[in-house]
Amino acid sequence: MVPFKILVAVCLAYVCMLFMVAFAAERRAQRGQIGWLRSPLVYTLSLSIYCTAWTFYGAVGYAARSGLEFVTIYLGPTLVLVGWWWVLRKLVRIGRSQHVTSIADLISARYGKSNVLGVIVTLMSVVAATPYIALQLQSVTLSFGVFASGAPEGWATPDQGATTLWLAGGLTLFTILFGTRNLDANERHHGVVMAIALEAVVKLVALLAVGIFTVWSVAGGFVDVLARIDASPIADWPLAPGRWIGLTFVSAAAVLTLPRMFQVMVVENSDERHLATASWAFPLYLMLMSLFVIPIAVVGLQALPEGANPDLFVLTLPLTQGQGKLAMLAFLGGFSSATSMVIVAAIALATMVSNHVVTPLWLSLRRGGTRAPGDVRGLVLMSRRLSIAGILALGYGYYRLSGGGAALAAIGLISFVGAAQILPCLLGGIFWRGGTGTGAALGLGTGFLVWLYTLYLPSFGTGGLLSETLMTAGPWGIGWLRPQALLGIDTLDPLLHAIFWSLVLNTAGYVLGSLATFPGPVERMQGVAFVNVFDHDPVARGWSRGGAEAEDLLAMSQGILGAEEAQQFFQREAEAQGKAGFLPETTPDFIERLERRLGGAVGAATAHAMIAQFAVGAVVSAQDLMAVASEAQQILEYSTQLEAKSDELARTARQLTEANDKLTELSVQKDAFLSQISHELRTPMTSIRAFSEILMDRDLASDMQQKYAGIIHDETIRLTRLLDDLLDLSVLENRKMKLNIKVANLHDLIDRAVRSASNIRPERDFAIRRDVSSEHMPVVTDTDRLVQVFINLVSNARKYCDAPRAEMTIHARQRKGGIIVDFIDNGSGIAGKAQTVVFEKFTRLTDTARAGGAGLGLAICREIMANLGGTIAYLPGQGGAAFRVTLPIRPGGRSDNADG
């Protein structure tokens, strides 16, 4: 017998190990080493949270009570997974393309990003999950109790209620630590998935171990077990067709609609191809989990005393056989099943609550301040943490209210039927474009109420939440409204009755509501995007034109995605549009992508609402247009015009802002320039003054006089050159340069430049490599100025190239939109940081072999090229210093980005 303290210690150690695994996986993922963290195997194992404590303990109990019927709960998911090509493939694709965060998000996104539906689905899911979480608490409490009852020293254990409370508290803490450490953009939890994959292995191994022990150690092998089954109370198989089909159907529905299954199957899916593996591997897992259920049930019924709880045979059978270690393993398996379910379910539900209830509520309360909502991340995380606690509290409440005495399977099925209510509008949403939000709300509402009335409320027992008279005579004595015999049909058993009526009325409400109403524009667009998800080009866009300022959007996104993440996203988008910096054009495509990205963090409806604040005019008029114009072409035309106009306005505003920024910046630069220039002028002046003072000394030797006069002369020349350069620069910068446009052969110009530059450090051995044949092309430009640029580049190389055998490659070619000339030397090049400042005024990178330049050469080059309508840029990664001169074929047309 295992003492209670050791049991608790083992549990804690196990949880610590899970936490470490999750932490390690999280760390790996952060370093970008996703690798096997996201393999098909891990994906399949993570799906196994379908098998909760209900499977681990409850299946045997179910089998001991009603034989083979337990297997329907696993046949349904098997059919869904095997039929992945129908539904799951589409769901996963939609989930990925729409950045869906939960099942409520999916439904809300499909039906026009309506938050009302999100709230309904969230509410239903939370209510439906409470019995399920209660089931997990109950099973772990019972399993603790098993160890308690047999203890010799009477056990200083707390009573059952206290155990459950401790358990609920511990799980809350654990889930919060696990699931809300960060607000992932795509809502993927690498750590959690890894931990539940591990738990999946533990529970499978534990159940198989107990099964093998039962068949080959307690019983006398396979044949003996078959004989025992024949002799057992469940030897006959009273197959009731209604229940058989109904339960298979409900479990098939539940595997699609349970929030936690949706979380691991769709939200956490990282690669669609994993689904192909899961399509056979997960059914295999289910089959292995079910394989020994009947043998354990039969042997348990025979070996254990009358009245033993069959829900606990997995634990009590090894215990009575004196197999403490095996029982411990089984206990851990059950513990795994319960914890993994509670963790994922709580995370999924908390995401739904925070995305569909708390965040929208908070945003609507903060009127006016919503455009730059500050740090929403903190709010979202906190609301998720509180939701997790709330959900576990509800589960605990259900456990206390229901008394904790019911069979595990019976409790689980209540949840299943509740979750299955989402099925009609889910399937309708992905296969039928005609489904509308009103229809979905009607169907969901009807199904939910019928489920509450016929199954959920009666589950608290007669005299619980529904009075005895209501159960037997109906409300106000109306017999055909009895909860378990609607319309007077009392031939069905209560469960089947609830499945039948709730789903029939649900579907009817959905279909009739959809047929009778007309969907809004956003709804219709989303309908197409969902139903035709496999068509490559999405025809419709949610935002017909952008009315938003990129800067505002960035400010808002930073609050949700985090500063770094948001800036990265914006920069990437700007880059894709061919813009530098962080602010892309607010094209409809961009806004669409941004919305989906935000949706990945806070859900589609909230993201849509947040973006709508910035583009509110755009949305309203899009809807008006669609209502008025039936011809799509008309809409397109008009909206293009509007788009152009609003784009223009937005551009103008942005240009103004940019201009203003530039002016401010220029004034700063001017100050810096003045101080620089005084410094530059002062240095030669100082030496001129010093040497002229020496010259004033009469008795100076004449050769010394000669020398000092020479120095003064050199310094004045330097001063003059500096002043010339400055004048030149100021002319160039003001774009007042008179262009003397001529036609010339590029080859000749390069020749000229190379020749002129050869007097710089003439003593140096400097090879120039050119591909002469490619240089022959006509250029129409101010040739003298262009040659000046070339001279500068070549002489710079002569001055600064530090290779022992200095060498320069000049490479010219013509590309669409311009002529490109590269000057590449074989020196050590310019360090990355200096590359950005090399074209600034007074930049001198080294003092070695300094030839008296003021650091204006490249600045002048840049200005010249700008005047000529071309560019000059530093070309990194060429093995030496490399400059690219780009020149338009004809003067006047600037060639932006010709070097890209």
Cα distances (Å, whole numbers) of residue 162 to 2, 61, 390: 20, 25, 18
Comparison of 82 and 845: residue with beta carbon closer to another protein: 82
Size of the site for another protein (CB under 8 A): 48
Angle at 213 between CA 209 and CA 215, to 5 degrees: 120
632 binds another protein (CB under 8 A): no
Task: In whole angstroms, give the CA distance from residue 252 to residue 427.
Answer: 13
Question: Which span sits near another protein by CB under 8 A: 45-53, 239-247, 508-516, 651-659?
Answer: 239-247
284 binds another protein (CB under 8 A): yes
Query: What residue spans of 368-520 are helical by DSSP H?
Result: 376-402, 408-420, 423-431, 437-451, 468-473, 494-516
247 binds another protein (CB under 8 A): no
Cα distances (Å, whole numbers) of residue 883 to 750, 771, 800, 831: 14, 17, 14, 14
Among 12, 16, 85, 617, binds another protein (CB under 8 A): 85
Question: Which span sits near another protein by CB under 8 A: 8-16, 254-262, 508-516, 569-577?
Answer: 569-577
Task: Identify the sign of the CA torsion 245, 246, 248, 253.
Answer: positive
239 binds another protein (CB under 8 A): yes
Task: In whole angstroms, give the CA distance from residue 10 to residue 17.
Answer: 10
Q: Whole-number minimum distance, CB 276 to another protein, in Å?
A: 4
Furthest CA-CA distance within the chain: 135
Ramachandran sector of residue 128 (left: φ over 0; alpha: ψ -120 to 50; beta: rest): alpha
Question: Which span sits near another protein by CB under 8 A: 176-184, 244-252, 254-262, 863-871?
Answer: 244-252
Comparison of 539 and 837: residue with beta carbon closer to another protein: 539
How far is C-alpha 212 from the geometric centre of its chain's CA atoms? 43
8 binds another protein (CB under 8 A): no
Comparison of 71 and 119: residue with beta carbon closer to another protein: 71
382 binds another protein (CB under 8 A): no
238 binds another protein (CB under 8 A): yes
Comparison of 571 and 745: residue with beta carbon closer to another protein: 571
Q: Whole-number minimum distance, CB 83 to another protein, in Å?
A: 3
Q: Whole-number minimum distance, CB 489 to another protein, in Å?
A: 21
Comparison of 163 and 290: residue with beta carbon closer to another protein: 290
593 binds another protein (CB under 8 A): yes
Question: Which span sits near another protein by CB under 8 A: 73-81, 326-334, 656-664, 811-819?
Answer: 73-81
229 binds another protein (CB under 8 A): yes
Query: What residue spans of 258-323 are helical by DSSP H?
Result: 259-262, 273-291, 293-303, 313-320
Amino acid found at 548: A
Strands 767-770 and 807-815: parallel
97 binds another protein (CB under 8 A): yes
Question: Which span sits near another protein by CB under 8 A: 227-235, 323-331, 367-375, 437-445?
Answer: 227-235
Comparison of 239 and 372: residue with beta carbon closer to another protein: 239
Question: Which span sits near another protein by CB under 8 A: 117-125, 282-290, 709-717, 727-735?
Answer: 282-290
Counting Cα atoms < 13 Å in the Cβ hemisphere of 80 gives 28
165 binds another protein (CB under 8 A): no
Among 37, 45, 59, 71, binds another protein (CB under 8 A): 71
774 binds another protein (CB under 8 A): no
Q: Whole-number minimum distance, CB 391 to another protein, in Å?
A: 32
Comparison of 146 and 225: residue with beta carbon closer to another protein: 225
How far is C-alpha 391 from the geometric centre of its chain's CA atoms? 24
636 binds another protein (CB under 8 A): no
Task: In whole angstroms, give the CA distance from residue 116 to residue 123.
Answer: 11
581 binds another protein (CB under 8 A): no
Q: Whole-number minimum distance, CB 886 to another protein, in Å?
A: 14
Q: Whole-number minimum distance, CB 210 to another protein, in Å?
A: 18
Task: In whole angstroms, give the CA distance from residue 165 to residue 137.
Answer: 9
Q: 3-state SS of 819-855?
A: EEEEEEECCCCCCHHHHCCCCCCCCCCCCCCCCCCCC
Run of H or E including 781: strand 778-782
Closest CA to 42 of 338, 277, 251: 277
Q: How many CB atoms lie within 10 A of CB 220?
A: 12
Q: How many CB atoms lie within 10 A of CB 10?
A: 15
Among 84, 178, 399, 510, binds another protein (CB under 8 A): 84
605 and 598 Cβ atoms separated by less than 8 Å: no
How far is C-alpha 664 from the geometric centre of its chain's CA atoms? 39
Among 234, 498, 529, 864, binds another protein (CB under 8 A): 234
116 binds another protein (CB under 8 A): no
Q: Whole-number minimum distance, CB 889 to another protein, in Å?
A: 19
Q: Whole-number minimum distance, CB 273 to another protein, in Å?
A: 5
Comparison of 289 and 712: residue with beta carbon closer to another protein: 289
Binding pattern for the stretch 753-772 against another protein, x by CB under 8 A and - elsewhere: --------------------
212 binds another protein (CB under 8 A): no
Task: Identify the sign of the CA torsion 298, 299, 305, 311.
Answer: negative
Q: Whole-number minimum distance, CB 326 to another protein, in Å?
A: 24
Residues 6+ apart with CB under 8 A from 115: 108, 356, 360, 605, 606, 609
Task: In whole angstroms, give the CA distance from residue 435 to residue 53.
Answer: 37
Among 279, 351, 421, 454, binds another protein (CB under 8 A): 279
For the packed helices 313-320 and 115-149, what is the interaxial angle rounded to 10 degrees? 20
Task: In whole angstroms, give the CA distance from residue 499 to residue 244.
Answer: 12
80 binds another protein (CB under 8 A): yes
Comparison of 50 and 84: residue with beta carbon closer to another protein: 84
Cα distances (Å, whole numbers) of residue 491 to 486, 495, 513: 11, 12, 30
34 binds another protein (CB under 8 A): no
Tokens of 116: 């009302």
Task: In whole angstroms, give the CA distance from residue 729 to residue 740.
Answer: 17
Produce one character per residue of 243-275: b if its CB has 16 or more CB atoms within 10 Å, e if not. Answer: beebbbbbbbbbbbbbbbbbbbbbbbbbeeebb
Comparison of 97 and 621: residue with beta carbon closer to another protein: 97
Q: Whole-number minimum distance, CB 280 to another protein, in Å?
A: 4
DSSP 497-562: HHHHHHHHHHHHHHHHHHHHS---HHHHHHHHHHHTTTSSS----S-SS--S-HHHHHHHHHHHH-
Among 86, 431, 518, 534, binds another protein (CB under 8 A): 86
575 binds another protein (CB under 8 A): yes
294 binds another protein (CB under 8 A): yes
Cα distances (Å, whole numbers) of residue 767 to 16, 189, 544, 754, 756: 68, 59, 59, 11, 15
Comparison of 281 and 346: residue with beta carbon closer to another protein: 281
291 binds another protein (CB under 8 A): yes
Comparison of 229 and 695: residue with beta carbon closer to another protein: 229
Closest CA to 134 of 89, 165, 170: 165
Binding pattern for the stretch 249-278 against another protein, x by CB under 8 A and - elsewhere: ------------------------x--xx-
236 binds another protein (CB under 8 A): yes
78 binds another protein (CB under 8 A): yes
Comparison of 571 and 758: residue with beta carbon closer to another protein: 571
Return residues touching another protein (CB under 8 A).
Answer: 67-68, 71, 75, 78-86, 96-97, 226, 229-230, 232, 234-241, 244-245, 248, 273, 276-277, 279-280, 283-284, 287, 291, 294, 572, 575-578, 593, 897, 900
